Amino acid sequence: MSEQTQADTEKAAGFETRAIHAGYDPDPMTGAVIPPIYATSTYKQDGVGGMRGGYEYSRSANPTRTALEGCLAALEQGERAFAFASGLAAEDTLLRALCKPGDHVVIPDDAYGGTYRLFAKVEQPWGLEYTPAQVADVDAVRAAIQPGRTRIVWVETPTNPLLNVADIEAIAAVAHEAGALLVVDNTFASPYLQQPLSLGADVVVHSTTKYCGGHSDVVGGALVVKDLEVAEKVGFHQNSIGAVAGPFDAWLVLRGLKTLGIRMDRHCDNAERVVAFLKDHPAVSQVIYPGLEEHPGHEVASRQMKRYGGIVSFRLHAGEQKALDTCARATVFTLGESLGGVESLIEHPGRMTHASVAGTDLEVPADLIRLSVGIETVEDLIADLDQALA
């Protein structure tokens, strides 16, 4: 498993080359260009302890998962990557690998709902304390850190659904000064648009369910780690807890990664056209997109992202009922949760993805709509929004 492979030599190659080749060399026996789905739980040993390529049992390692993990590490410029059954499984494993009861973490005050629930209802009862902070404000993050006790500063950028932008480089400096690690949930940007490890982050988290998989056909998660000491802890916990990606799921995500670059470019092209349309629409009171100059995070996003992504949020003058009606009337945009697939999705965060934070500081405006702009023909997307808003 550890021999120098063709994939290793491609570490320096361009993003799309790594996406297509890293993690797997054509099978020496058959020449298969694509890794098989190794549907096996165990491996024949050549004499006791005589493992072939280090494979012993598929919770510990499976060749299809190894291929995915190699590709993810290459795309995020990390030392090692680990694939999990879901984004939340990856997060839970990371927290238990790096923290112990009594430790403290800083989390985004608008964290992904499932992440917030994990901290509030699972990790806190276990003994991990957390403080929510506005991650777009470096001073607020600094103020939330408890030096000596804070193990992790956790950041999402851009955030969901208001697309706030955190300055990864600046927050890495603040976290490291206090002896904490910086973890970045890079799900919204994907490794194509943003590579947090090269900006100073220590660990990248992905829900590979979203852009990495990209086809809304798999639930998965990943951690990519910069240093070997952290990698060892994460690897130990991945095997000990066992929330690993199965071989078919790993295969689907790996297949998705091959087209990540061209998909993201089309997501961004289409999102930019949709933003321009919504900006001019009389029913729309505000368009939220980091690519807009008036977006408060525009300057930071321009520095740390290649482009601004496929998620667009907007608000309506006429209020909540109009927002609900617009979601219901869309036909090319599918009304549904999740994001990052080739198909366009529309949703009402207040009643759907963010219903659980109603009445709290995390409440989102009732007239807000979130789009995950897909890669369909953009004229069809704009025509659909036009009729839905009419």
Ligand X SMILES: *Cc1c(COP(=O)(O)O)cnc(C)c1O
Whole-angstrom distance, CA of residue 208 vs CA of residue 211 = 7
211 is catalytic: no
**In this complex, which beta carbon is closest to ligand X, that of residue 92 or of residue 272?**
92
88 contributes a contact to ligand X by CB under 6 A: yes
109 contributes a contact to ligand X by CB under 6 A: no
Report residue 197: phi and psi, to 5°: -65, -35
96 is catalytic: no
353 contributes a contact to ligand X by CB under 6 A: no
Report residue 223: phi and psi, to 5°: -125, 135
44 is catalytic: no
Q: At what angle do helices 260-279 and 247-258 cross, to 10 degrees?
A: 70
Query: Which one of the listed residues 103, 185, 249, 367 is annotated catalytic?
Result: 185
Structure tokens at 191: 């490794």
**In this complex, which beta carbon is closest to ligand X, that of residue 102 or of residue 242?**
242
Distances (CA, A) of 40 to 32, 56, 63, 231, 248: 18, 11, 10, 25, 11
Question: What minimum distance in Å lies between the beta carbon of 102 and ligand X?
Answer: 25
**Binding residue (CB under 6 A) for ligand X from 64, 66, 115, 150:** 115
Whole-angstrom distance, CA of residue 250 vs CA of residue 256 = 10
Lay out the site mask for ligand X across 184-213 (x = CB under 6 A, - = otherwise).
-x-xx------------------x-xx---
Query: Which one of the listed residues 25, 59, 137, 233 is annotated catalytic?
Result: 59
**Binding residue (CB under 6 A) for ligand X from 95, 197, 219, 223:** 219
Q: At residue 254, what is the residue type?
A: L
Residue of this chain nearest to ligand X (CB atom): 87
Half-sphere exposure of 366 (CA within 13 A, CB side): 7
185 is catalytic: yes
Binding piece for ligand X, criterion CB under 6 A, among 19-27, 41-49, 180-188, 273-281: 180-188
Torsion of CA 125, 351, 88, 69, to 10 degrees: -170
Q: Which residues of 43-82 are buried (b: 16+ CB within 10 A; e: fewer)?
A: beeeeeeeeeeebeebeebbbbbbbbbbbbbbbbbbebbb
Size of the site for ligand X (CB under 6 A): 16
Lay out the site mask for ligand X across 235-274 (x = CB under 6 A, - = otherwise).
----------------------------------------
Query: Which one of the listed residues 65, 142, 151, 210 is annotated catalytic?
Result: 210
Structure tokens at 162: 């208001």
**Binding residue (CB under 6 A) for ligand X from 35, 63, 78, 87:** 87
112 contributes a contact to ligand X by CB under 6 A: yes
314 contributes a contact to ligand X by CB under 6 A: no
| Segment 140 to 179, residues that bind ligand X, using CB under 6 A | 156, 160
Cβ atoms of 205 and 84 closer than 8 Å = no
Catalytically active residues, by annotation: 59, 112, 185, 210
Contact footprint for ligand X (CB under 6 A): 86-88, 112, 114-115, 156, 160, 185, 187-188, 207, 209-210, 219, 221
